[in-house]
Amino acid sequence: MKSAVYTKAGQVGLAEIDRPQIEAPDDAIIRIVRTCVCGSDLWSYRNPEIEEGHSNSGHEAIGIVEEVGEAVTTVKPGDFVIAPFTHGCGQCDACRAGYDGTCDRHIDTNWSGGVQAEYIRFHFANWALVKIPGQPSDYSEGMLKSLLTLADVMPTGYHAARVANVQKGDKVVVIGDGAVGQCAVIAAKMRGASQIVLMSRHEDRQQMALESGATAVVAERGEEGITKVREILGGGADVALECVGTEVAVEQALGVLHNGGRMGFVGVPHYNNRALGSTFAQNISVAGGAASVTTYDKQVLLKAVLDGDINPGRVFTSSYKLEDIDQAYKDMDERKTIKSMIVMD
């Protein structure tokens, strides 16, 4: 079967590899129907030290179950499923508290990889997979796009809002206008925020967020951006959702909050020098980490998509065949598309 591999910095190709087999009782083999490129995949794509033939870091897909291990009772061959990037057990303290993105039992095995391929082996399938009613042919392309976001970006945006405890009436600022930031806007609206300000300099992304529930956009950055946000909100924000993962984005998020405000962060951190004590004087609550994909999908997000209450699939502004995966990465890296979807035959 075909699978995407990194060939050198800034280039992805296809390799012919063995089709995966069931290895553990809790495995499922899934035939991929739609997969995509994640902002986090671009870190591997750009890495000048990437070894040739390195497996892709893709981790978001929807597909059809082909085969299951003997311990899997929740899905059967032929079922249409969301393959979350996380693999919680559903039973440990973390999973029961709704933090299956960081399952206590699956410390080094909780994330997917290699999903930009024709087939995958999905480990810890019994609890973590999310069944979708019907078959792909029952859904429009737009609906398939929204279902695909439930493997990562929509639950990740939702996680930022949940850990920051966005509540009815809150004034929320979203830092980051990529797919996760767009989904954080949707999540803040779902949870009843009264005002949602997106910080973005790109007109198409501003427009998308305004259609999803943002009430204002701010293009300025730094001190200028903070001043503008405070003008719009008539003071500091209750909540800032940081969806980038850089120190500049964290500074921006902390800067827009009033004292006692809350920051939720879901951008994978590419900094390590932020001390816990730095928010003491402002009494700011900080929380974040990997999203609880399975929990949110099962509790609220799958229903919200199927009922047409939310349309996160609009973040996929371009589609490609697996053969064109290099272009899919390139267009995202050059910001020509917000998020690239791969349509399998």
Residues engaged in binding Zn ion (CB under 5 A)? 38, 88-89, 92, 95, 103, 105, 152
Between 88 and 155, CB nearer to Zn ion: 88
Residue of 344, 291, 287, 250 whose CA lies nearest to 34: 344
CB of 306 to Zn ion, least distance (A): 22
Cβ count near 314 (within 10 Å): 19
Which structure tokens are listed for 69? 């291990």
Distances (CA, A) of 204 to 195, 210, 217: 20, 10, 12
Between 39 and 236, CB nearer to Zn ion: 39
CB of 232 to Zn ion, least distance (A): 30
* Phi and psi angles of residue 238, each rounded to the nearest 5 degrees, phi first: -75, -35
CB of 15 to Zn ion, least distance (A): 21
CB of 265 to Zn ion, least distance (A): 15
- Residue whose C-beta lies closest to Zn ion: 38
Q: How far apart are CA 243 and CA 180, in angstroms?
A: 6
Between 34 and 228, CB nearer to Zn ion: 34
Helix ranges (H only) for the chain are 41-46, 93-96, 125-128, 141-149, 153-163, 179-190, 203-212, 222-233, 247-256, 293-296, 302-306, 325-333
CB of 330 to Zn ion, least distance (A): 18
Between 88 and 181, CB nearer to Zn ion: 88
CB of 16 to Zn ion, least distance (A): 25
Q: Which residues contact 301 (CB under 8 A, 6 or more apart)?
A: 150, 154, 155, 158, 310
Between 174 and 243, CB nearer to Zn ion: 243
Between 144 and 233, CB nearer to Zn ion: 144
Q: Which residues contact 39 (CB under 8 A, 6 or more apart)?
A: 178, 179, 180, 332, 339
